[in-house]
Structure 1
Amino acid sequence: MTADHQTLALVLFSAFVAVTLGITTWVSRNRHGSAEEFYAGGRLFSPMENGFAIAGDYMSAASFLGISGLIALFGYDGLLYSVGFLVAWLVVLFLVAELVRNCGRFTLADVVAARMSERPVRIAAGTSSVTVSVLYLVAQMVGAGTLVALLLGGESEAAQAWTVIGVGTLMVVYVSLGGMRATTWIQIVKAVLLMGGAIALTVLVLVRFHGDFDQLLRTAAERSGHGDSFLAPGLKYGGDWVARFDFISLGLALVLGTAGLPHILSRFYTVPTARAARRSVVWSIGLIGGFYLMTIVLGFGAAAIVGPDAVRGSNAAGNTAVPLLALDLGGGADSTGGTVLFAIVAAIAFATILAVVAGITLASSASVAHDLYASLRRRRSKPRSEVAVARTAAVGIGVVAIGLGLLAKDLNVAFLVGLAFAVAASANLPVLLYSLFWRGFTTRGAVWSVYGGLVPSVVLVLLSPVVSGSADSLFPGVDFQYFPLQNPGLVSIPLGFLAGWLGTVASAEPPDEAKHAETEVRSLTGAGAV
């Protein structure tokens, strides 16, 4: 890219950052400083607004960059991510959305603690929520670094590092100043931009092939070097039993993980009623479904037009497939049209990352303040002091995410998000479902369920090929790989449910029937909900 073209792209980046900072500044002038305002935006958002915000929160760098890149490199096997991310919303719609809105106040721990001993449950759920959030943040940091490195001319280590640091700093500013209200509006703006960019690119790809999707697939298969096997299962997850079990493990994590993501659950508290929460999910499913259908076109379009070799040459994990596709569709690297389209797509992707990291940071800082801090100082803490702790926690979480983002810069962002989904499905989903639907569930069962899913999932990732033992690992020079699967969900998700059951049957305390009855009525009717 020429210096003029780089300047154009950087101007678009800066314009979005300026707009979002303007929104944050405007909202911060009108805040009341209460916990409800900071965590839930005053619960004043409409179902449509919240639906767009949920879609903006969910359609992350993994969706726009990672999934399209995986499809461009591995064809059919990359589709698993699109299908898994979308199907997961049926679990959220039918099992979680309304019940969580009625039972909780700000965080996942509110739902579980409604019928348990608060302190141990809040500490366990808060720890799990922060862990999941940090893993999710790392993926966004990696996506941001990849984008700006490409923009500045290849694999620039310094550009990636400074971009990760810059994104981390911005997310702390967004959360600390604007809270949920600013974060929501940033996510709405980002959702509109992302859908518009995806629609434009999808139309351009289909126009290139005269609307013939079959020709698009045939061309992608020819350029892939794999022939028809590019369009069949098994290119990435075929072969030996390890790869097949990895496929199953990833599918379980993607389908079950969404219902345990802290930043998604917190969005249900921003609307006034449970009915509004359900309608929010319907809005988000429509937007997210349309978007994931377009990622299929973009992924195969990148394979057919750019070619997997060029995508892999730019970024081994495939994270640059969509920006390279935009560059080609606009006329090529030497054309103004190609550079403008590339710059627009890169700016939209960067906007995607900023909006998502703001939502995740807010959810994780809320867990630190509302669950961990408040559980230790509940008698003396006040809403304002709790909000101050949340703002401070945002800084600490930002520092941790920046450090891990620098470490994992060469991994595919969709793959990294898959790990976060596995931890969420292992630690958060079992305790949430048991709390809502099992009358005999106890405090010990809740604590065991969280740690019984959290600890194995994290340990198995550390002992997997992701961290050591292969050329693509975080530490390729060492080998302490003892677990063969890249995604731990197949083992850790059942362990989370099993630990919750064992903790309950081994508990000396009888279940509190009165509290369960109260929680059941509240979850189903909304009576007494905040």
Structure 2
Amino acid sequence: MQANAPATSGNTTINITVFAVFVLITLYVVYRASSRNATASDYYAAGSSFTGPQNGIALSGDFLSAASFLGISGGIAVHGYDGFLYSVGWVVAWLMGLMLIAERLRNTGRFTLGDVLAFRMKQRPVRAAAANATLVISLFYMIAQMAGAGALMALLLDVHSRAGQAVVIAVVGVVMVLYVLLGGMKGTTWVQIIKAVLLLLCVGFMTVFLLGKFGFSLSAILETGARHSPLGADVLDPGSKYGGGALAKLDFVSLALSLVLGVTSLPHVLMRFYTVPNAREARRSVVWATMLMATFYLCTLVIGFGAMALVGSDTIAKAPGGENSAAPLLAFEIGGAVLLGVVAAVAFATILAVVAGLTLTASASFAHDVYANVLKHGNADPRSEIKVARLTAVVVGLLAIVGGIAASGQNVAFLVALALALAASANLPTILFSLFWKRFNTTGTLWSIYGGLSSSVVLIIFSPAMSGAPSSIFPGVDFHWFPLGNPGVVSIPLSFLCGWLGTMLSRSKADPVKQAEMEVRALTGLGSGLK
């Protein structure tokens, strides 16, 4: 079957036109929203003016990235059951956000994660640590999105050269920086809302069409897909990717920990809770986001096995972009060049919106935590703070472009899982300890952040994800010594241990007054300026 051949010729004009129209419309929306960015609160948190449902849609738009649309669909199309495990982990993760984090975080912070972690600790070292973790995590996540952009354009324009994909990634980087420079959080949020609606409509249409084509029988889709997979009926059972032995199963446990614990530790997800006026709306945000994402991931199950059935696993694996090409190839198969153009535009919109949110988060963390509170001791002029945030956005965008070029060709969902491992290792223990452990102090905070962040970065660098395997980012060399593809099973418990040890071994004591005030704020919102 040669579904990928025609998909890369004769429809370039349609693809580029649809994508350009979306970019122009959303840039206009961002420009209109930017006229109201009068204060730092407007730029960082949209003046806390969004409702729970609006923020929930934006949350789903912020999180449903290229990893979800391209990576998971491709993972299911090639690996079957094991590919769907990403979806399960990401849906379950939001339950922890709803029960433990969303409300308390909204009540105790203002703009960034550093506001929460530094509330009852020494401001300067903790804010610097939180900013460092945010920058590293955001950069890893952005690299995954940029790699998805390169994979998508490789398919659409039949670009096989690294230079061609590098140009595409650079263009995506420039556009997403424009979103952040022009619109701040308010403009970025509206882009994410528009993108979430388009994405859900797109996957909904493809799902209904596929079900109709197979007589509204999911079993028929699964059986047909199994016949077109080299794995045969085994593709419907666990173990095609993570069942090769004890080490592979341990790697799956590590992946599962990162997926479930990493989502609500992501800086750009946490920052969205500050765009609503109170804790009640924060809870509603998570409920709406969870419902929308559960619906989306059920659709990816149909799309992934539909691509396996109609396109074939071998065709997908050999196409430009590899596994990430499953959804676009399926779109061409069922709707021709027009649907491919629409799906491509939605995928690009997905990448742009997510990367814009990440860029805004990284720049806000540096400007608010490092520049305003560490360098200026909390006395920075709001205009100069926003200027620093915009300059940081440009620098972060350039770094993401370079990293995306290096990671081009990797499965996007796998790359995002590495970013989730970083988030779960550096952020989650410190968040939970800060909110729930009275004795937790500054030393424990620093040990937890830097211990989790450094251990996960080191283990990723020396893992098969980087070298020593055909699917590695650098397949031609081998310097790995850590056997697992995801470090979560080691780095997450280590971060909890570091936080506990740092607290217990430190002579400094937690401030009981600050701790009591934080507890009251977390539970009631009193004193936090909430409406």
- Name the TM tier (shorter chain): over 0.9
- Picking from 344, 347, 372, the partner of 1:346 is 344
Distance 2:353 2:48 in 1: 19
Deviations 1:218-245 (A, max 9, x none): 1111111212211111110011222111
Q: How does 1:4-153 map to 2 (within 5 A)?
A: 4-32=10-38, 34-153=39-158
Any conservation in 2 of the 1:444–1:507 contact (CA below 8 Å)? Answer: yes
What is the CA–CA distance in structure 2 between the aligned matches of 1:176 and 1:487, rounded to whole Å?
34
Q: Which residue of 1 aligns with 2:512?
A: 513
Q: Is residue 525 of structure 1 aligned with residue 531 of structure 2? A: no
For the residues of structure 1 that align with 2:417 and 2:9, how far apart are their CA atoms?
A: 37
Q: Tell me, yes or no, if the aligned pair for 2:158 and 2:320 is still in contact at 8 Å.
A: no
Helix, strand or coil at the partner of 1:527: coil
In structure 2, the partner of 1:334 is none
Q: 2:357 aligns with which of 353, 356, 359?
A: 359
1:423-466 superposed Cα distances (whole Å, 9 cap, x missing partner): 00000000000000000000000000001100000000000011
Q: CA deviation at 1:156?
A: 4.2
| 8 A Cα contact 2:108 2:528, kept in partner | yes
Question: Which of residues 291, 299, 306 is equivalent to 1:294?
Answer: 299
Partner Cα distance (1:524, 1:267) in 2: 19
Amino acid at match of 1:86: V
Residue of structure 2 equivalent to 1:175: 180
Mapped partners of 1:153, 1:132: distance in 2: 31
Distance 1:372 1:323 in 2: 42
CA–CA separation in structure 1 for the residues paired with 2:144 and 2:179: 19
Quote the Cα distance in structure 1 between the aligned partners of 2:78 and 2:257. 22
TM-score, structure 2 length as denominator?
0.97
Q: Report the AA paired with residue 326 of structure 2.
A: A
Contact 1:154 1:314 survives alignment (8 Å): no
Greater Cα offset, 93-102 or 378-387: 378-387
Corresponding residue to 1:320 among 313, 325, 333: 325
Deviation at 1:158, TM superposition (A): 3.4
Secondary structure in structure 2 of the residue aligned to 1:224? coil
Which amino acid in the other structure matches residue 499 of structure 2? G
For 2:63 and 2:394, locate their aligned partners in 1 and report how far apart those are by CA, in whole Å.
Answer: 22
Residue 210 (structure 2) pairs with residue 239 (structure 1):
no
Aligned to 1:442: 441
1:250 maps to amino acid: L
Counterpart AA for 2:512? E
With over 3 angstroms needed to count, the CA separation of the structure-2 counterparts of 1:92 and 1:379, relative to structure 1, is closer
C-alpha distance in 2, partners of 1:342/1:431? Answer: 44
CA contact (8 A) 1:122 1:371 kept: yes
Contact kept in structure 2, 1:221 and 1:227, CA below 8 Å: yes
Structure 2 vs 1, CA of residues 259 and 379 (structure 1 numbering), >3 Å: closer, same or farther?
closer
Query: What is the DSSP-based 3-state SS (H/G/I as helix, E as strand, rest coil) of the residue aligned with 2:80?
Result: helix
Give, in whole Å, the separation in 2 of the partners of 1:238 and 1:211: 31
Q: In 2, Cα distance between the equivalents of 1:495 and 1:317?
A: 35
Question: 1:216-255 residue pairs with structure 2 within 5 A?
Answer: 216-255=221-260
Q: Deviations over 1:371-419 (max 9, x none)?
A: 1222122254222211111000000100110000000001100000000
Question: In structure 2, how many angstroms separate the alpha carbons of the residues matched to 1:12 and 1:76?
Answer: 33
Per-residue deviation, residues 6-26 of structure 1 (Å, max 9, x unmatched): 101110010001011111221
Q: Match for 1:430: what amino acid? A: P
Counterpart secondary structure, 2:228: helix
Equivalent in the alignment of 2:415: 416
Structure 1: stretches of 5+ with no match in the other structure: 331-337
What SS does structure 2 have at the residue aligned with 1:401? helix
> Is contact 2:9-2:157 (8 Å) kept?
no
- Residue 370 in structure 1 maps to residue 368 in structure 2: yes
How far apart are residue 4 of structure 1 and its match? 4.7
Percentage identity across aligned positions?
Answer: 55
Task: Say if 1:144 and 1:353, in contact at 8 Å, map to a contact too.
Answer: yes
Q: Which amino acid aligns with 1:171?
A: M
- For the aligned residues, what is the CA RMSD? 1.1
C-alpha distance in 1 between matches for 2:78 and 2:15: 26
- In structure 2, what is the equivalent of residue 333 of structure 1? none
Report the AA paired with residue 428 of structure 1: N
Q: Secondary structure at the match of 1:131?
A: helix
Shift of 1:471: 2.1
Tell me, in whole angstroms, the C-alpha distance in 1 between the residues paired with 2:378 and 2:355: 32
CA distance in 2, matches of 1:245, 1:317: 26
Q: Distance in 2 between matches of 1:236 and 1:270?
A: 39
Task: Work out the CA distance in 1 between the residues paired with 2:413 and 2:288.
Answer: 23
Q: How big is each residue's C-alpha offset from its partner over 1:334-389, in whole Å with a ceiling of 9 and x where there is no partner?
A: xxxx1101111111111111111111110111111111222122254222211111
Structure 2 partner of 1:335: none
Displacement of 1:145: 1.0
Residues 1:126 and 1:52: Cα distance change in structure 2 (over 3 Å): same
Contact preservation (8 Å) 1:190, 1:351: yes
| Gaps in structure 2 of 5+ consecutive residues | 1-5
Matches of 1:207 and 1:54, distance apart in 2: 30
Aligned residue for 2:454?
A: 455
1:187 aligns with 2:192: yes
Match of 2:405 in 1: 406
Alignment partners' CA distance in 2, 1:153 and 1:24: 32
Give the counterpart letter for 1:41 in structure 2: A
